[in-house]
Amino acid sequence: MMNLRFPPLMIVLTISILSSSHVMASEGEIDKHWNHSIELYGQALNIRGDSTVGDLSTSVDVDPRFIMDHIDIGAMLRLQGVYENNWGYYIDYAYMKLSGKSDAVLGTDLSILNAKLDIRQGVLEAKAFKRYQYEHGTLDYMFGIRWWDNDIESSLYTNNGIIDNNKNLKVDWIDYLIGIRYITELSQHWAFHFSLDAGVGSDTDFTSSIQTGVRYTINEWSDMNIAYKSTWVDYDNQDDFAYNTATQGFLIGFAVHF
């Protein structure tokens, strides 16, 4: 029985955007119904937990340095729109592709094998929300989904290049979420935000995400986001894939408005 220690899933770098649209009213007046948003940001991730891929069980213990050493590409796109500061939508798509190699894997016959692991993961989060305004700030009641889409390819081979074991795994699932988000102005340039969601899925016992931080208004069309985000998930399809981890880290982003 071989023991291969590769973190099966990691999310590292993220990209998003922020935009606002104006609708021309009659007699040349501007009526601003929608305010859209897109933000570009990066996150330093730490991932802790455990996972099972096929018959391989691995512990997940990843820091930002490990991710940067193995990342091939990573990006996140977040789009948000609010209608008349009343109703809104929130879409966040994260993508990453990373790879790793090892030349010291013990095979079933006690021979030393080489190993290669390629991972592609996409996570789509889509929510709708109803906004309520109070003297101390705004409160958004949110509901939606988080869709995980994973491709994992692992191979074991000898020094002569002969394939000893090759596995391809494609797995995806949807978690259903409810949550809240609170936003309040601290000063002319600073605003505090806090969001929390939780949910389940057909094979997910529990999932939750929390994000809190501040936004700094640079000018009328741009701002900066400084925050901390953590996401928990406990998934097991009782077949060939299980993933029980907490993914967390600080992020910084730049947003534009138009």
pLDDT of residue 135: 92
Mean pLDDT over 170-174 rounds to 92
Assess if residue 9 is contained within a domain: no
Secondary structure (3-state) at 67: helix
Report the distance separating Cα 36 and Cα 69, nearest Å. 35
Assess if residue 17 is contained within a domain: no
Domain residues for the domain of 46 are 23-256
pLDDT of residue 244: 92
pLDDT tens by residue, 42-78: 888 888 898 887 777 778 777 777 777 777 778 888 8
Higher per-residue pLDDT: 40 or 99 = 40
Residue percentage of the chain with pLDDT more than 70: 76
Q: Does residue 2 have a pLDDT over 80?
A: no
Alpha-carbon 96 to chain mean position:
9
Q: How far lies 43's CA from each of 91, 219, 230, in Å?
A: 18, 24, 11
Q: Is there a contact between 203 and 235 (Cβ–Cβ < 8 Å)?
A: yes
pLDDT of residue 251: 92
Assess if residue 177 is contained within a domain: yes
* CB atoms near residue 98 (< 10 Å): 24
Alpha-carbon 88 to chain mean position:
20
Assess if residue 213 is contained within a domain: yes
Please list, residue by residue across 17-56, b when 16 or more beta carbons sit within 10 angstroms of its beta carbon and e when fewer do: bbbbeeeeeeeeeeeeeebbbbbbbbbbbbbebebbbeeb
Report the distance separating Cα 134 and Cα 152, nearest Å. 47
* CB atoms near residue 176 (< 10 Å): 14
pLDDT tens by residue, 88-147: 999 998 888 877 665 544 455 545 556 667 788 888 999 999 999 999 999 999 999 999
Compute the mean pLDDT over every residue in the chain, rounded to the nearest whole number. Answer: 80
CA angle, residues 50, 56, 57, in degrees to nearest 5: 25
Secondary structure (3-state) at 205: strand
pLDDT of residue 83: 94
Q: Does residue 6 have a pLDDT over 80?
A: no
Assess if residue 128 is contained within a domain: yes
pLDDT tens by residue, 197-223: 999 999 999 999 999 999 999 999 999
Q: Does residue 151 have a pLDDT over 60?
A: yes
For the ranges 28-32, 160-164, 179-183, the one whose mean pLDDT is highest: 179-183
Report the distance separating Cα 44 and Cα 228, nearest Å. 10
pLDDT of residue 168: 77
Domain of residue 232, CATH code: 2.40.128.90
Mean pLDDT over 26-44 rounds to 73
Mean pLDDT over 229-251 rounds to 91
Short-list 142, 144, 127, 150, CA closest to 11 = 150
How many distinct structural domains can be found in the chain?
1
Assess if residue 63 is contained within a domain: yes
Assess if residue 56 is contained within a domain: yes
pLDDT of residue 43: 85
pLDDT band for position 229 (50/70/90)? very high
Short-list 222, 192, 228, 221, CA closest to 22 = 221
pLDDT of residue 159: 60
Please list, residue by residue across 66-93, b when 16 or more beta carbons sit within 10 angstroms of its beta carbon and e when fewer do: bbeebbeebbbbbbbbbeeeeebbbbbb
Assess if residue 10 is contained within a domain: no
